Amino acid sequence: MSRSERGLVLEIQRMSTEDGPGLRSTLFLKGCSLRCRWCHNPESISPKPELRWSGSRCLGCGECLSACPNRALSLGAGIRIDRGSCDGCGECERTCPGGALELWGRSMTAEEAVAELLRDRSFFGPDGGVTVSGGEACLQASFVQETLGRLRSEGVGTALDTCGMCTEFRLLRSAEHADLVLYDIKDADPDRHLRNTGGDLAVVLRNFRLLARPSGDRARKRIWVRTPVIPGLADSPGMIEGIARFLVESGAESVERWELCAFNNLCREKYRQLGEEWELAASPLMDADHMDRLVDAAIRAGWPADRIRWTGMTAAGGTVGKERLGSPEPGIGRRSWNEEAPCARDRNG
């Protein structure tokens, strides 16, 4: 058999109800093609392994300093990491007696990833399965293709989570064995999209059409669209109306649901552990009435009321997800914020 493709894996998150139908395991890959100002998973952006240090677990023993072959660690108010010198070898992580040092990102073959994921199959049930997410999963297209292909041949339901910012070749290769595609559309205005995400909206929309419209021997994909709603940056009814009009014109038959994901700022600690400032650290939560108005805007622009909902934490009441009209599909229940740990991978990527 040919060599199994290698990928840089950030994490396998189990028992997820956020990344497709039913109960799923989500394979998060490292490396992203966008730089969203609101990114909730900053540890997934770099395509290289990254080290984090947790002060609460550190015993102050200093073992890591002498273990590092690159002298990338030093003692200050805590352990300081010289990220320019660190090559992600993992020596310090293996040495640390307190578990205070942890590497984000591990190289695995698709064969190894599938073997790990198949351990979870007993909880997938008839609707669940595996979702491959990022970062931007399509940047590791060969790895994704092989991983989803192997899972599908084992009878496991498969999904791909993408922001669509990649070449057509990578997208189609990654999506080949995906039963469902979770597709982020973050704006309808090209200039604002570029300002907020660093990405070319035309590429995202062109790739969406590729998946949503059948062509030749390529069938259309089942798609769930997700749109992050970010206070002051991407939260206007006009933006939602623009996306709605695009979806009505380009993907109405393929898009089974559209989710508006309300901003939260619970990822602040991850920025701190990476030694980075985050411009939205003090931004407020969205208001539930405003989220309702955005749903209304989508419906006004022609999007079917039974295929849209908003989810996430809001300022009034601290909950939740809200079904809007229509009845929930199996596996798309009302979401409680408490189901998700603060440092879990988040949808507002």
Rounded to a whole number of angstroms, the minimum distance from the CB of residue 58 to ligand SF4 is 3
- Stretch of residues binding ligand SF4 (CB under 6 A), selected from 91-99, 161-169, 294-302, 328-336: 91-99
- Span near ligand SF4 by CB under 6 A; candidates 39-47, 93-101, 266-274, 281-289: 93-101
Q: Which is nearer to ligand SF4, 71 or 300 (CB)?
A: 71
Beta-carbon contacts of 61 under 8 Å, excluding residues fewer than 6 positions away, are 97, 98
Residue 157's DSSP bridge partners are 129
Q: Which residue has the tokens 């100002």?
A: 37
Burial of 202 (0-12, 13-18, 19+ CB in 10 A): exposed
Nearer to ligand SF4, 55 or 126 (CB): 55
Using CB under 6 A as the binding rule, the residues of this chain from 59 to 78 that contact ligand SF4 are: 59-64, 67-68, 70, 72-73
Which residue lies nearer to ligand SF4 by CB, 73 or 201? 73
Residues counted in the chain: 349
90 belongs to the binding site for ligand SF4 (CB under 6 A): yes
Find the shortest distance in angstroms from Cβ 30 to ligand SF4: 15
Q: How big is the site for ligand SF4, counted in residues (CB under 6 A)? A: 27
Tokens of 282: 């003090």
Helix then strand then coil, in percent of the chain rounded to 5, is 30, 25, 45
Q: According to CB under 6 A, which one of 12, 47, 87, 304 is a site residue for ligand SF4?
A: 87
39-58 residues in contact with ligand SF4 (CB under 6 A) are 51, 58
With a CB cutoff of 8 Å and minimum separation 6, the contacts of 287 are: 314, 315, 316
Classify each residue of 273-302 as buried b or exposed e, where b means 16 or more C-beta atoms within 10 Å of its C-beta: bbeeebebeebebbebebbeebbebbbebe
Q: Which is nearer to ligand SF4, 91 or 329 (CB)?
A: 91
Minimum gap (Å) between residue 75 Cβ and ligand SF4: 8
Q: Could you tell me the CA-to-CA distances from 292 to 48, 231, 302, 308, 338 in Å, in that order?
A: 40, 14, 16, 11, 21
- Is residue 252 part of the contact set for ligand SF4 (CB under 6 A)? no
Q: How far is the CB of 53 from ligand SF4 (least distance, A)?
A: 6
CB of 28 to ligand SF4, least distance (A): 20
Q: Figure out which of the listed residues 79, 188, 212, 280 binds ligand SF4, where binding follows CB under 6 A.
A: 79
Residues 100-139 that bind ligand SF4 (CB under 6 A): 100-101
Examine residue 89 and tell whether it contacts ligand SF4 (CB under 6 A). yes
Q: Smallest gap, in angstroms, from Cβ of residue 86 to ligand SF4?
A: 3
**DSSP states along 17-80:** SSSSSSSEEEEEES--S---TT-S-GGGTSSS-EEEE-GGG-----HHHHH-TT--EEESSSEE
C-beta of residue 221 within 8 angstroms of C-beta of residue 211: yes
The residues that touch ligand SF4, with contacts defined as CB under 6 A, are 51, 58-64, 67-68, 70, 72-73, 79, 86-92, 95-98, 100-101
